[in-house]
Structure 1
Amino acid sequence: MTAANTRLADRTDGTDRTHRWGGRRPGGPTTGPPPRPPYREPGKAIVHDDLEKRPTPRSAGAPRLPLSHSRKRLWYLDRIAVAAPVHHVSAATLIEGPLDAGRLASALRDPVSRHELLRSTFDDRGDGPLRTVRATAEVPLRRLDLTGGSASGTDARGVSEPEAELRRVLAEESAGPFALDRGPALRATLVRTGEERHVLLLTAHRIIADRASLTVLEHELACSYAALGGSPVQDLLPLPLPHADRPSLDRPAPDWERETRDEEVAYWKRKLADLPPLDLPLDRTRPRTPTGRATGRGLLLDTRCAEALRQLAREEGVSAWTVSAAAFAVLLARWTGRHDVVFGTPLDRRPPTSARTAFGPYEDLLPLRVDLTGRPSLREAVRRVAHTRDEAERHAGVAFGQLVQLCEQERDVSRHPLCQAVFAVTGERRTGFTAAGLTTSQLTLDDATVPYDLRCTVTDDGDDGDGRGGLGAELRLASDLWVPESADRVASAFRALLTALAETPDRRIAEIPLLSPEDRVRLDAWNATDRPLPEPATVDGLFLACAERAPQALALTDRTGSWTYAQLRGRADRVARNLIAGGVTPDSVVALHMRRSAGLVTGMLGVLLAGGAPLVLDPGHPEERLRSMADDADISAVLSRAEPPAWLHGLGVPVLRLTDAEHDRPVAQGREPEHVRPCPVGPPPRSRSHPLGLAAVVHTSGSTGRPKAVGIPHRAVVRLITATDYVSIGPGDVLLHLGDPAFDITAFEVWGALCNGARVDVLPGDEPLGPDEVLTALRELRPTIVALTGTLFNRVADIDPRAFGGLRHLFVVGEVMDPRRTRAVLHGGAPPERLHNGYGPSENATFSTTHLVDRLPEDAPSVPIGSALTNTTLHVLDQELGPVPIGVTGELYVGGIGVARGYLGRPGRTAERFLPDPFASRPGALMYRTGDLVRRLPDGALDFLGRADQQVKIRGYRIEPGEVEAALLDRDDVRECVVRAVDVAGDRRLVAYVVPGPGRRPSPPELLGGLRDRLPSHMVPGHVVMLDELPTTPSGKIDGRALPGIAEGAGNPPGTDTVPPRTATERALWEIWADALRVRSFGVHDSFFLIGGHSLLASVVRTSVRARLGVTLPLRTLFDVPTLAGLAVEVERAADEAAAAAVSARADDGSEQLDGLVAELERLAESRRAEERAGGSA
C-alpha cells in the first residue's frame, strides 16, 4: 500500500485551487439589495438563495424530515441497485505506533453525538422517503487482524502479497452495503497489519457525507481520541445548523429572492432545453442497472508542458480549471462528433463560514453546456468554456436535483441524468487522523468505481511548491460500457489535446490528431492490403484464359439451355466483331436493352471483348430513367434482345439485335456438353481492354432521384473476384445470377464465375424474384455460392432457415444484416459453410469489406461489416478528413484499386465524392466518400452505424433509425420494418413502416408500447404504418421513396394512441396512477415518466399498489417497465407468486382462514382468469 497523495484520485473533493495559477475571478454585482455574496473559489457554491441549503431553525419535535432532491435520488438508486459501492466514499489512514484501539472505538461516540446525520435513518413508510433522526446511535469499530498469515512474495502486478491482501480487505470493506433504513450510514474498520501498525478505514454512504466530510470526521475523531487519553485539545469549532434543515418551499420569501430564483430557473430552462444524452461511442450495450465498476487510466505531463498550460491560463486571464476543462470539452466533442457537449463539474455547497466543520453531502454537480460550433481554435475553446462556467456559476443557486426536475427528461436509471461525463480537479489534501505519539499518513485506495460514464480528474503538482511541477490526470470509464483498450485510447487522446493546448493553442480543434502512435501502426497494418493482380488484369482476358484451359467445361445455364466456355466464347466473339464493325472502340459504352438472361451475359461478354463497357438498361424500368442513364454514359451503340423500342433509335447510335450479332443456337436444356457440336471458334481477337479501362457502367440512386452512372475499371472487378482472401472460386463452383444486372452485384455473380472457371446459373429476369423462387433455385440448381440482399435473406430465412445448408458461401449484401435472422440461420441446424456480411458501395466495385459470421452473441445489436478486401483501404475520418480514434464514429472513405473512375457525365458530383487519397503512396490515387457512418472495433473490423444523411435530429436528439428497426425486428410478430423521419405538418417525426409476421397481427399501439419499454422516449416513432410488403428497388433493396407519406392528422404521436385499461389489474393500476399523477388522460401504453411521473411519485405508486392490491414490488419495477400494461404483468406475476406462497404457508400451519391480503390476491387472479376465458371465447 502506497502512501498518501501518490495518486490524484485520493485528493479529489471537487474543489479547484486556481489561485495558484492566477486568473480572473468572476464576481456577482456589488450593489443591490441585498448584494450577492462575493465569488468564492471556483468549485465552491454560491449559496445566497439556495433553498436547498439556506438553513432555518427546525421546529421542535419533528422526528421525520423530508429529503433534498439529491438525497432522494441517492435513496432511490440505493433501492434500485442494491449495494452499489459507487455511492460510497472512503478514506484510509496508515497509523504507526502504540495505538489504543479501545480508546479509538470510544472516540467514535463523540462525532456520532455531534452530527445528527450519523444518527439518521432513511426509509419510506408510505409517505415517500424521509429521514429520521435518532437520539442515540453507535458506530462500532470493526477490527480485523491480518498478522496471522505468513504470506510473502508478490502477485502478478508486482505487489507484495501482504499488501495485496490489505488492498483486498479495504476494497471489500469499502464496498460493503449499508442498510439505510436501520443506519448508521457510516462504517469504521481498523485493520492490524503488523506490530504497532494499523490502517483506519472510514466509509460513508453519500446520502450523509461527501469526501470532505470524512476529513471533518477524521479531525474530530483525532480530537476525541486525544481527549480520552488526557491530552489537551483545542476546542472544536461550533457546528453550523444541521445540513438537512430546509425551509418550507411555501414559506414567504422576499421579493428580491423570488425574482433572483425565477431568473435562475429561467436561465437553466433555456440553457438545458433539448439537451440530448452524451452519445459516447460504447463497446458494450448499456445495462439497465449499472454496476458502477470502472477502468481507470492515469497520465502525467512534464513540467515544460504544464508550465505552458499555466502560461496560457495567465494570457487568457482564466483559471487552471478552465484550460484543462477546455481540453476535456474538446475531447467529448471529438469523441462524439458533436459540437454541443455537456459535462458536469463538482460544486461544494458548504457555507463559507463553516467549511471546516460542516458535515454532510454538500458536494453538488454544476452542468456546463459548451458550444464548439464554427471550427474554433483551442484558445477559443478555452474562452468559451470560461464564459460558460462564469455564466453557470452566476446562476448556481438551483441545485442539481432541481435541474433534473426542471428539464423534465425521461427517467433512465441506466445513465446519470443531464451529465454523463464529469470533470474535476483535485482539492486540498486531507489531514487525516493524527494523534500524539503516532505516525500517520494517508493511503491511496483502489477505488475502481464511477457513477458516470466518464470522469476526468486533473491534479497540478505545481500547486504544492514553486508552481513548476507537472500536471497529472486520471480518466475513469464505466467498465459496463467500455473495454480496457478504450480507456487507453481516451487517455491518449486527452494527453494529445493537453499537449496541443500547450504547444499550439491557436490550432483549430478539428486539426488535432488524436490517434495514439500504437493505433496508427494498427491502422497501417489493417490497410496493408496490396497484392499483385493476376495477368491479364482484365475481365475478358481472364475469361479467355479459362476458356483456353477448359473449353468444354460448362460455363453458363439458364432455363433455355446451357453453354460451354468454348460455345460462350464463340458467341461472344461474334458479338464483339459486329460491335467493332459498328464503331465500338476501347472504353466505349454499349447499352444492352435486356432483362437478366443468358443472352444478356453473352452480350456483356461480347462488349468486353470489343473493348467496350456494358451498360444494362432493364426494359422493365421507366423509359425516362433509361434515357437519362444512356445520356449520362454517352453510349456508342445499343444491343437489344427483341425489337428495340422507338426511343432507342432516337439516340443517334447504332442499334443491333443480339440475334443478328450471333449465329449459333443454345444447347437444349438437359443435354450434356460433350454431345454438342463445338461451335466454330476462330482465333481470339486481339485484346482491346486495359486494366484501367472501363469494364462496366452501373447506376446508383441519387439524392435528387436522378441515377448516377458509375464507371468501373477492369482492375476494380479483377481485385474483387481473383486472388482474394475472403472467398475462393474454382471450376467446381456454381454461382447464381439473381441480382439486378444493372447493378454492381453482377460483377461478383457473373464475372466471379466466368473468370475462375466456374459456372453461372441465371435466374430469369422476366418473372418476379421472391423467396419462393430463391428456395426453388437453391433446391434444384444446387449452387455453391450465392449473394442475397438483406431483404431477400430475411424472407428466405423466415420460411426455412435451413435452406442455405448446401452452400459453401452465402453473402448478405446491400442492406443491414438482421441479427435475429442471422442467429436463426447459424443455429438452425444447417448453416452454410461460410456466412458473410458483405458491404460496399457501387463506387468501389461491389464489396469493400466482408465479415465472416461464424457466431453472434445473443445480445449483439448488429453484425459487423468486417475488414477490407485485398487491394482496398478503409479510412474512418472526421469532418476535417482526419482519422478518428479506434472506436469513435466517423465517415467511411474507401481507397485502393477498387475505386471507380467517377460518375460519367457528372464532373461536379465526381469531384465531391471522389477525392485525392492523402493516405496512398500511388500517384493520382482516389478515395471515395461513402456517406456511411462506421467505427473501428478493437480487432479492426468495422461496425456499420447507418447513413450520415439518414440520421435524424428530433427535439434535439440525434437518432439512428437502424436502432429503432433492430428493436422492432426483435419481435416475433414483426417480419420486416423500416423507420424513416417524415415531415408531418411541419413537424419532424419518426415513422415505422411494419410488415407483420405470421400469426396474430400486432396493433400499432402494441408496437409502440413495446418500444417504450425498450427505448428512450425520443426514439419511439410517432406513427406506425402497417404494410403487407415493403416496397423494393429492382436490386432488391428497400425503396424508401415508395413508402407512403403521413397526412396531417393521420395517426397519432406517442402518448395519444390512448388504449384504455382492459383488465381488472390494469383498471386498478389506472386509478392508482390517476390519483398519484392528478391526470386522467392516459392509456396503458403511455410512459409513467412522460405523463408527469417522477421518482418520488414512483414511490407513491409503489406504496399504493401495496396498500390497495396487496402486492409488494421492487422500487425499480416502474423504471424497468414504465407503462401501465407492463406494470400490470408484473403485478399479476407477483400476485400469483404471493398467493401460492400463502396457500403453502396455510397448509403448513393448518390454518383455514384467509386474511384480507390473500383474499385480494386471489380475487385479482380469478378476475384475470375470467377475462382471459371471456377473451378466448369471443
Structure 2
Amino acid sequence: MLSQAIEGFRLSPQQKHLWLLQQQSGDIYCSQCVIRIKGQLEIDKLKLALQKVINRHEILRTFFHRQPGIKLPIQVINDNSEFFWQELNQSNGGYKPIEELCQEERQFVFDFEQSPLLRTFLLTESADQWLLLINLPSLCADSWSLKNLVKEISDIYGECLNDQELEDEPVQYIQFSEWHNELLEDEDAETGKAYWQQQELGSIPSLTLPWESHSDRKTRFAPKVYTVKLEPDLVAKLDKSATLHKSTIAEILFACWQTLLWRNTGQSDIVVNTVYPGRKYEELHETIGLLAKWLPVRCSFQENFKFTEVLSSIKDTLDSHEKWQEYFLREEDKKNDDYSSNSLISFEFEQWDDKYESGGVSLALEKLYVCFEQFKLKLSCVLREESLTAEFHYDSELIPPESIQYLAEQFQTLVASTLNNLEATVGELEIISDRQLQQLLVEFNQTQTNYPQEQCLHHRFEAQAQQTPNNLAVVFGDEQLTYAELNQRANQLAHYLQKLGVGPEVLVGIFIEPSGFGGASLTFNIITVILGIIKAGGAYLPLDTTLPQESLAFRLQDAQIPILLTQQSLTEKLPNYSGKIVCLDTESEIITQEISENPTSEVKCDNLVYLLFTSGSTGKPKGVAIEHRSLVNYLDGILERLNLPPGSNFATFSTFAADLGNTAIFPALCTGGCLYVAPQEQVSNPEALVKYFQRHPIDCLKIVPSHLAALLTSPGMQSILPRQRLVLGGEAASWNLIEQIQQLTPDCQIINHYGPTETTVGVLTYPVNDKLENNASKTVPLGRPLANTQVYVLDKQLRPLPIGVPGELYISGMGLARGYINRPKLTAERFITNPFTDEPKARLYKTGDLVRYLPDGNLEFLGRTDNQVKIRGFRIELGEIEALLDQHPGVRQSVVSVWEEQGNKRLVAYIVPNKQQQPSVSELRSFLTQKRQEYMVP
C-alpha cells in the first residue's frame, strides 16, 4: 500500500540550522514567555483568545514530519487549533512557583511529529492577578514572536468580550520560509553571500574566556542565566549619551560588551554575535515564527582606541549587516558540518512595552526566554520603562556561576566608567569594582602574621640544638650527626672564621663537595659549613663544584669574596683568586681546637645571610642578596603550610648552589627533625636511590616535577616518595604527574610551591586536593601567598587585573631580597616602589612570570613575559646563552629556544655562522662547557 501523501513545506534557513543543531546535540531549544494579567479576567474568554491567535498563525499549529532516510523534515500545518492548557492554583494542589515551572518546561521534550506543540499554563496568584506561561519549540517562535503574542492575546481578548474579529491577516511563516529559500537560491544571492565571505570571519580564533573549564568531559549544552538590574541613573545617562553621539542605547551597551570581552581576553580581533529580528520589511512585523538570526559582528581593539571609535566602528558594521542579513548562513561559517556552536559569544537588546489594556484587564510581559542557538556566553539587555536589566546567559558546563557573577559586576563597572567619559581610551576604562579591588588587593593578601622579627636563623637552630641535643640532625649517605655534634662543629668553625675577620656583611664562599671529605668524614660537611658561617655573623655564597673556571672566577670577583672555604682536592679547579683560601680538610685539626660554645656576633636580622647567583640575560649571572629576616620569615611561613609534627624527617638531593633545598634544610634543623642528604652518586643511580630511601624513610621531600617524573619511570621508585608531604617546585607541575603520585601514595599530601630566588625560596603554596576534579587550570595552581607576603597581578601600567585575566606577577613583603649585588640599576628596575600600601619603603618585585587569578584566589602559572625558562628546576636566561655563543669567532648570530617533547625540555641553539669559519656542534658545545655548567649547554 502506498502511504498517504502529506502536504508540507520546506524549513526556513533558520529552522534548518536549528533542526540540525538539535539533532546533533540532542539539546532542547524552546521559546517561552510569562505574561502578568491583572483585573477581572474571564478565563474562558482568555482560552478562546488563545485559540483564535492559534487560528491566525499557522506556525502555532505546525508539526514537523520527516520521512525515513531524509535528513530534514517538512513543516506540516494542522487544521486543528487545539493546544495544551493547564490551570494551577494553590487550592488544586498543582501550584508551584513560576520560576520552577519555567525551568521544568525548558526541559520538556517536544514530539515534533505530533501537534499541538504549544503549551500554556495559567497560575492564579489572587482574585485579580494571574501569570500565563506560554512554551513552544524555538522552531516556531523567536522573541519578537512572543512579544507579538502578548499584544495579540490582549487585542483578541477584548474582541472576544465584544464578539468581534480582527480583520487584518498576518503574513504566514511558510510564506516567509518560501521567500527566504528562494532568495538564497536566486542568482543575485551571490552578491550577498560574497559580503559575508569578505568579513573573513574564519581567520579569527574563537574567544577563550579566562574562566572556562579546561575539562574535555563536556557532554551537553546546559544554559543557565544570572540576572542583575543596573543602577537607575545609568538608564538616563545611556539615553543622553546615545542622543549626543547619534547612537542608540543598544549600540553603546554592545560596544561596552565587546570592550569587556577584549579586556578579559586580550584578543585584539573579537567576533560577537548579535541578533537581527529578520523583520526589516513592514509586512513581516507581525509575523510569528523563527525569523531572527544571529549575525557575527567583528571588532578590532588596541589599547589607545577611544571608546567612541569602537562605538562608531560597531555602528557602521551593524548598519552594513542590516542590508545583507538574509544571506548569512551559519552552516557556511562552520567546518565539517559541525552545527554545535558552543564557542559563540553573543549580545542582544530587548525593549519591552509596559502593558496592554483590553476588556478591563492588563497584560504585561514579565519573563522572556528564547534559545535557538548554542552559545558559550550571551548578554541580553532588557529595557522596560526606566529599568534596565542585564541577563548573563552561560553554558554551565563550561563556565562556573561565580565567574558569571564576577563578570556581571565588571560589566556594570565598565558601563558606569564609559558613561562618565566616552572619549576615554578602552584601556583606561574601569572594569574592576570597588568590591573586587578590595578582594584583589586586600582579601587575597591578608597574610600578616606576627612572627619574631628580630631573630636570626642561627638563633633558631641553637635553640633547637639545646632542646633536642641527642636527636639526629643530618645524615650524609650512611653517616650521621646529632644536633649537639652539629652545633659543636659549626661553633668551632664560626670561632675560627671570626678570627679571620668574618662578621656582619662579610661574604664567605663555599666550594666543597656536599658530603664532606675523605678521612675528615662529616667534620665539615656543607651543612656544618653553612651554619658555621652564619654563626660567625657572616653570609655564605655556595658555589657548585661543577662550575667552569671562568664562571667560578666571575662569581668570586663579582661578589668580592674575601674568604673561600674549599678542600684540597678541589684547589686545582680554582681560578686566580686574591682572597684567603681555607682548605677545610687540611685545617680541620686547627679548627676543631676552637671552643665549642655558641659564638656571639653583632649580626642583626637585616644583615645578609646568603648570596645566590642566577642566570642573567646579558650573558653574566647576577647575585641575589638575601637577609636573615627574609629567610626566617620563609621558615615560619613554610612550616605553617607544611603542618608537620616536630621531629619529622626531610630529604634533599638538589644542588646547594640554588635555594630549592632550603625548603628541607632549615625546616628540618629548626624543628628537631633529621635532614637526609642523598649522595650524588646515588641520586644519579635510580636503583641505588630506591635502596637508600628504603633504608631511610622520610616524611617530607622537595623535588622538581620533571626530575620526579623521570625517576618514577624506573621500577620501585615509589619508595622515594615521602610518607607525609611531597613538595613540588622549580617549574610547572602537570595534573598527570599528580594523578600518578596519588595512585602510588594516596596518603601523602602534595604541595605545589612557587617562588623566585629574589623572594627567598618561595612565596606561594597550593595543597592539592585528594580528588582531581574539573580543574580550572591547565597546570597545578601556584597557590596562595605565605605569611607576610602580598602578590599582585598587574598590567603594563601597574593596574590590577581582574580574576582570570593574565598579567605579570608582582610580589611584595618580608621575603623580598635586598637586591642584586653590585647591580644598582637592575635592582631599581626589578624592585620598585609598592603603590598599593602606605608602608614606607615597601617594594614590589617584578617577576616576569605571566599568571592569572583563579576564582578561588589561587594563582595559575601561564608562562613568561621574557626569554627566561626553567629546565629541571634550573632558571636559565636564554639571552645569557645567546650572548656567550655570539662571543665565538665562528658565530655571527644565534638564537636559543626550548624544545619540549613528551614533557621533557631541552635547549636548542640556532646559529648563523661567519662565512670564514663554520664551527661544528661539538666545537660550540665545548666552547660553552668552558663557560657554563652542563645544564646551560644546548
Q: TM-score scaled by structure 2?
A: 0.81
What is the CA–CA distance in structure 1 between the aligned matches of 2:401 and 2:559, rounded to whole Å?
Answer: 52
Q: 1:416 to 1:807 in 2, by over 3 A?
A: closer
Superposed displacement of residue 142, structure 1:
1.8
**Mapping 1:88-127, distance limit 5 Å:** 88-94=31-37, 96-97=39-40, 99=42, 101=44, 104=47, 108=51, 111-112=54-55, 114-115=57-58, 118-121=61-64, 123=66, 125-127=68-70
The aligned counterpart of 1:350 is 279
Q: Given the alignment of the two structures, is residue 172 of structure 1 paired with residue 104 of structure 2, yes or no?
A: yes
Superposed displacement of residue 718, structure 1:
0.8
The aligned counterpart of 1:206 is 138
Aligned AA (1:390) = D
Moved more, 192-201 or 932-941: 192-201
2:751 aligned residue (836, 839, 848) = 836
The aligned counterpart of 1:231 is 163
SS at match of 1:427: strand
2:83 aligned residue (137, 141, 151) = 141
Q: Given the alignment of the two structures, is residue 540 of structure 1 paired with residue 482 of structure 2, yes or no?
A: no
Does the Cα contact within 8 Å between 1:116 and 1:242 map onto a contact in 2? Answer: no
What is the CA–CA distance in structure 2 between the aligned matches of 1:103 and 1:557, rounded to whole Å?
Answer: 89
Q: 1:331 to 1:251 in 2, by over 3 A?
A: closer
What is the CA–CA distance in structure 2 between the aligned matches of 1:686 and 1:120, rounded to whole Å?
Answer: 94
Aligned AA (2:781) = P
Q: 1:323 to 1:749 in 2, by over 3 A?
A: same
Aligned AA (2:735) = P
Q: 1:662 to 1:405 in 2, by over 3 A?
A: farther
2:261 aligned residue (322, 332, 350) = 332
Q: Given the alignment of the two structures, is residue 697 of structure 1 paired with residue 631 of structure 2, yes or no?
A: no
Q: 1:697 to 1:948 in 2, by over 3 A?
A: same
The aligned counterpart of 2:920 is none
**Mapping 1:198-347, distance limit 5 Å:** 199-219=131-151, 231-239=163-171, 241-247=175-181, 253=187, 258-259=190-191, 261-262=193-194, 264-269=195-200, 273-282=203-212, 285=215, 288-303=218-233, 305-347=234-276
Deviation readout 1:1056-1110 (Å, 9 max, x if unpaired): xxxxxxxxxxxxxxxxxxxxxxxxxxxxxxxxxxxxxxxxxxxxxxxxxxxxxxx
The aligned counterpart of 1:78 is 22
What is the CA–CA distance in structure 2 between the aligned matches of 1:881 and 1:841, rounded to whole Å?
Answer: 20
Q: 1:227 to 1:757 in 2, by over 3 A?
A: closer
Does the Cα contact within 8 Å between 1:350 and 1:362 map onto a contact in 2? Answer: yes
Does the Cα contact within 8 Å between 1:146 and 1:193 map onto a contact in 2? Answer: no
The aligned counterpart of 1:15 is none
Which ranges of structure 1 fall in alignment gaps of 5 or more residues? 1-60, 152-160, 666-677, 953-960, 962-987, 997-1033, 1044-1178
SS at match of 2:177: coil
Aligned AA (1:497) = L
Aligned AA (1:203) = N
Deviation readout 1:874-920 (Å, 9 max, x if unpaired): 22223332223344443322211111222334444433332222224
Aligned AA (2:297) = L
Does the Cα contact within 8 Å between 1:284 and 1:480 map onto a contact in 2? Answer: no
Deviation readout 1:171-207 (Å, 9 max, x if unpaired): 4335422233445554344556676875443323222
What is the CA–CA distance in structure 2 between the aligned matches of 1:484 and 1:282, rounded to whole Å?
Answer: 11
SS at match of 2:694: helix
Deviation readout 1:404-425 (Å, 9 max, x if unpaired): 45555677777535x32x2222
Does the Cα contact within 8 Å between 1:578 and 1:661 map onto a contact in 2? Answer: no
Deviation readout 1:28-59 (Å, 9 max, x if unpaired): xxxxxxxxxxxxxxxxxxxxxxxxxxxxxxxx
SS at match of 2:298: strand
Q: Given the alignment of the two structures, is residue 721 of structure 1 paired with residue 639 of structure 2, yes or no?
A: no
**Mapping 1:384-403, distance limit 5 Å:** 384-399=310-325, 402=328
**Mapping 1:665-704, distance limit 5 Å:** 681-702=595-616
The aligned counterpart of 1:780 is 695
What is the CA–CA distance in structure 2 between the aligned matches of 1:210 and 1:487, rounded to whole Å?
Answer: 25
The aligned counterpart of 2:915 is none
**Mapping 1:628-1027, distance limit 5 Å:** 628-644=554-570, 648-663=574-589, 681-702=595-616, 707-722=621-636, 724-728=639-643, 732-766=647-681, 768-769=683-684, 771-795=686-710, 799=715, 803=719, 807-826=723-742, 828=744, 831-832=747-748, 834-860=749-775, 862-948=779-865, 993-994=901-902
What is the CA–CA distance in structure 2 between the aligned matches of 1:261 and 1:78, rounded to whole Å?
Answer: 25
Does the Cα contact within 8 Å between 2:255 and 2:314 map onto a contact in 1? Answer: no
Superposed displacement of residue 298, structure 1:
0.8
SS at match of 1:725: helix
The aligned counterpart of 1:454 is 377
Superposed displacement of residue 927, structure 1:
2.0
What is the CA–CA distance in structure 2 between the aligned matches of 1:278 and 1:920, rounded to whole Å?
Answer: 34
The aligned counterpart of 2:890 is none
What is the CA–CA distance in structure 2 between the aligned matches of 1:384 and 1:364, rounded to whole Å?
Answer: 23
The aligned counterpart of 2:877 is none
Superposed displacement of residue 314, structure 1:
3.8
Aligned AA (2:367) = T
Aligned AA (2:447) = T
**Mapping 1:1090-1105, distance limit 5 Å:** none
Q: 1:321 to 1:611 in 2, by over 3 A?
A: same
Moved more, 367-376 or 628-637: 628-637
Deviation readout 1:552-604 (Å, 9 max, x if unpaired): 54322213632333433443345445555555553243332234325222232
Does the Cα contact within 8 Å between 2:145 and 2:288 map onto a contact in 1? Answer: yes
Q: 1:347 to 1:706 in 2, by over 3 A?
A: farther
The aligned counterpart of 1:423 is 347
Q: 1:990 to 1:90 in 2, by over 3 A?
A: farther
Superposed displacement of residue 383, structure 1:
2.3
What is the CA–CA distance in structure 2 between the aligned matches of 1:990 and 1:105, rounded to whole Å?
Answer: 75
The aligned counterpart of 1:980 is none
The aligned counterpart of 2:909 is none
Size of the alignment, in residue pairs?
868
Aligned AA (2:230) = L
Superposed displacement of residue 113, structure 1:
6.5
Does the Cα contact within 8 Å between 2:832 and 2:844 map onto a contact in 1? Answer: yes
Moved more, 193-202 or 138-147: 193-202
Does the Cα contact within 8 Å between 1:513 and 1:882 map onto a contact in 2? Answer: no
Superposed displacement of residue 268, structure 1:
0.7
SS at match of 2:641: coil
Does the Cα contact within 8 Å between 2:566 and 2:584 map onto a contact in 1? Answer: yes
What is the CA–CA distance in structure 1 between the aligned matches of 2:383 and 2:533, rounded to whole Å?
Answer: 72
Which ranges of structure 2 fall in alignment gaps of 5 or more residues? 517-524, 872-895, 905-928
Q: TM-score scaled by structure 1?
A: 0.66
SS at match of 1:92: strand
Does the Cα contact within 8 Å between 1:142 and 1:190 map onto a contact in 2? Answer: no
What is the CA–CA distance in structure 2 between the aligned matches of 1:179 and 1:1041, rounded to whole Å?
Answer: 67
SS at match of 2:97: helix
Aligned AA (1:373) = Q
Does the Cα contact within 8 Å between 2:751 and 2:767 map onto a contact in 1? Answer: yes
SS at match of 1:875: strand
The aligned counterpart of 1:1089 is none
What is the CA–CA distance in structure 2 between the aligned matches of 1:939 and 1:440, rounded to whole Å?
Answer: 44
Aligned AA (1:617) = L
Q: 1:759 to 1:449 in 2, by over 3 A?
A: farther
User: Identity rate of aligned residues, in percent?
Assistant: 23
The aligned counterpart of 1:1157 is none
